[in-house]
Chain A
């Protein structure tokens, strides 16, 4: 049996390596989320994602009722570079049922 040192999971970035060419979920700063296919990443967590959906969440406060209105804005981008300093977490996409 050949040793599989090349694909050994030794450090946290290796976990991201396992998701290459898979769809992932990325939580970013400023209440943003991305879902897309991971094409590339580096140690800064700069990433290249394909077929991306971005979700921006905003909370409006009604002037009269003071209730919080949570809004989400979505858009799709075919091919996107994401700068790593905005990334909070990376995960396989969350399965909802």
Chain B
């Protein structure tokens, strides 16, 4: 039931939502995502060219996870 390799959407405390493939997580719940794209790209054009990112755990509000069936 490892979520590494699955598509997740990380919602940050500044309301930015980033969708990507979960690469890794550490003890602080820092998150590394690959193949990232911002969810509302018109509203948040900040990271159009960013494809991989490291997210500090403390800035995360939610992580939207795939349900058991494997998609969302």
- Show 15 residue pairs from A and B whose CB-CB distance is below 8 angstroms, ordered by the A residue: A30-B13, A78-B72, A79-B65, A79-B66, A79-B67, A79-B72, A80-B62, A80-B63, A80-B65, A81-B62, A81-B63, A83-B29, A83-B60, A83-B62, A86-B13
Does B61 count as interface, using CB distance less than 8 angstroms?
A: yes
Q: A83-B29, A86-B13 are in contact. Are A78 and B67 (CB under 8 A)?
A: yes
The 9 closest A-B pairs by CB, nearest first: A81-B63, A78-B67, A79-B65, A79-B67, A83-B60, A77-B64, A80-B62, A86-B61, A78-B72
Query: What is the interface of chain B, defined by CB distance below 8 A to chain A?
Result: 13, 29, 57-58, 60-68, 72
Interface residues of A in 28-52 (CB under 8 A from B): 30, 46, 48, 50
Main secondary structure of the interface of A (DSSP, over half): strand
CB–CB B66/A83 < 8 A: no
Residue of A nearest to B59 (CB): A83
Contact among B57, B60, B61, B64 for A79, CB-based, below 8 A: B64
CB distance from B33 to the nearest CB of A (A): 14
| In the complex, chain A residues whose CB is within 8 Å of the CB of B64 | 77, 79-81
Count of inter-chain pairs, beta carbons less than 8 A:
32
Query: What is the interface of chain A, defined by CB distance below 8 A to chain B?
Result: 30, 46, 48, 50, 77-83, 85-86
| In the complex, chain A residues whose CB is within 8 Å of the CB of B60 | 83
CB distance from B32 to the nearest CB of A (A): 16
A85 vs B58: C-alpha distance when bound (angstroms): 8
A30 vs B12: C-alpha distance when bound (angstroms): 12
